[in-house]
Amino acid sequence: MSRNCVFTQVFVNLQKMKGTLNSTHLNSFRTLRISSVISNDINNEVPSNTSHQQYDMFYPGHISTSLFQKSLLAAGSGIACLLNPARDDMLCALGETTGPLALKYIHSKMMSDSVGRQILEEKPVINTTTINLEKLGSLPDGTFGKEYWTFLKTNGFSPDARRPVNFIDDAELMYVMLRYRQCHDLVHTLLGMPPNMLGEVAVKWFEAIQTRLPMCISAALFGPIRLGPKHRRKYFDIYLPWAIRSAYNSKFLMNVYFEKHWEQDITEFRQELNLEPAPVPLIKTGKNTKTK
C-alpha cells in the first residue's frame, strides 16, 4: 500500500464517522480534512522513482513521515479515539505517532534486564504461526496458556488481529511497539480483566504506569468519562487504586518472556511477577459486565 493511500485511508475513516456525530462535532471535523495536504506533502518530498525504496527504508511496511505529518496524524487519530475507543486503527496511529520517547524508555528497561535483552535479541512474535492455540486449549485448567486461550475464545479474539507498526522511524523501537501490542491480551489475562470499557481503562492505567506511552496515559485519563455511574463508582473505589498499586509493585512486564510460561500455573506465575490480580474479578455476560 502506498503512503498516499495509507494517509488518505486514515482520514477517510475519520470522515466516515460524520454520520454518527451532531452538528458541533461535524464543525470540528471540518478542520481535520487534511488528507490531501499530507498526500501532496509526501509527493513533494519523495520522488516517484524512489518511493518504494523509501517505503522499506527502516523495515518492511514502514511509512516515512515528517514531524508535521506525525502531528496531524496524532491530532486526527486522538479525536477519533475519544469519539470511538473501539477504533484500533486510530489507537495504533496515535500510539505510534506519540510514542517514540516512551519506546526508548521501554527499550532501555529491556536492555538492562537479562530476559529483556533476550527478547530484543530473539524478537519473538505472537501469532497463530508461532504459537499453537490448539495445544494451549488442551493445557490443564489454571495454567497461564489455558487462561490465555480461554480469554481469546471467550471474546472471539485472535493473535493475528494485532496490527503491524508503520510510523516508527527505528526498526528496534518498531519491535518494542509490536511486542507491547502483541502482549496486550496477555496482560488482560494476568490481570483478570475483560476487554470492556471498565476492564480496558484499568489495564490502560497499569500499562501507562509501566510503559509511559502517551496513548495509554490518554486512554487512562479520558476513558472513565465513558463509564456509567455504577461502573464509575467501582472504578474509583476498587479498580483504579488496584491498577496503580499493581503496576508499581509488579515486575516490568515487557521483560517477561510470556511464551516460556504457557504451562505454568497462573497463580504461581502472578506470584513470581509480584502481580496482584483484580481484587473483585470481572465476568462478562452478554452485553453486561458484572462483578463476582
133-150 pLDDT, tens digit each: 999 999 999 999 999 999
pLDDT, position 35: 38
Percent residues over pLDDT 70 in the chain: 76
| pTM of the entire predicted model | 0.77
List Cα–Cα distances, 242 to 53, 143, 191, 292, in angstroms: 48, 23, 10, 16
Residues composing the chain: 292
Distance, in Å, from the CA atom of 141 to the CA atom of 171, rounded to the nearest integer, reads 38
The single residue listed with the C-alpha cell 519491535 is 175
Instruction: Point out the annotated binding site for Zn(2+).
Output: 184-185, 188, 200
Is residue 174 predicted with pLDDT exceeding 50?
yes
Instruction: Point out the annotated binding site.
Output: 184-185, 188, 200
Average pLDDT, the chain: 81
Residue 165: CB partners within 8 Å, gap ≥ 6?
61, 92, 96, 174, 177, 178, 181
Confidence band, pLDDT 50/70/90 cuts, at residue 282: low
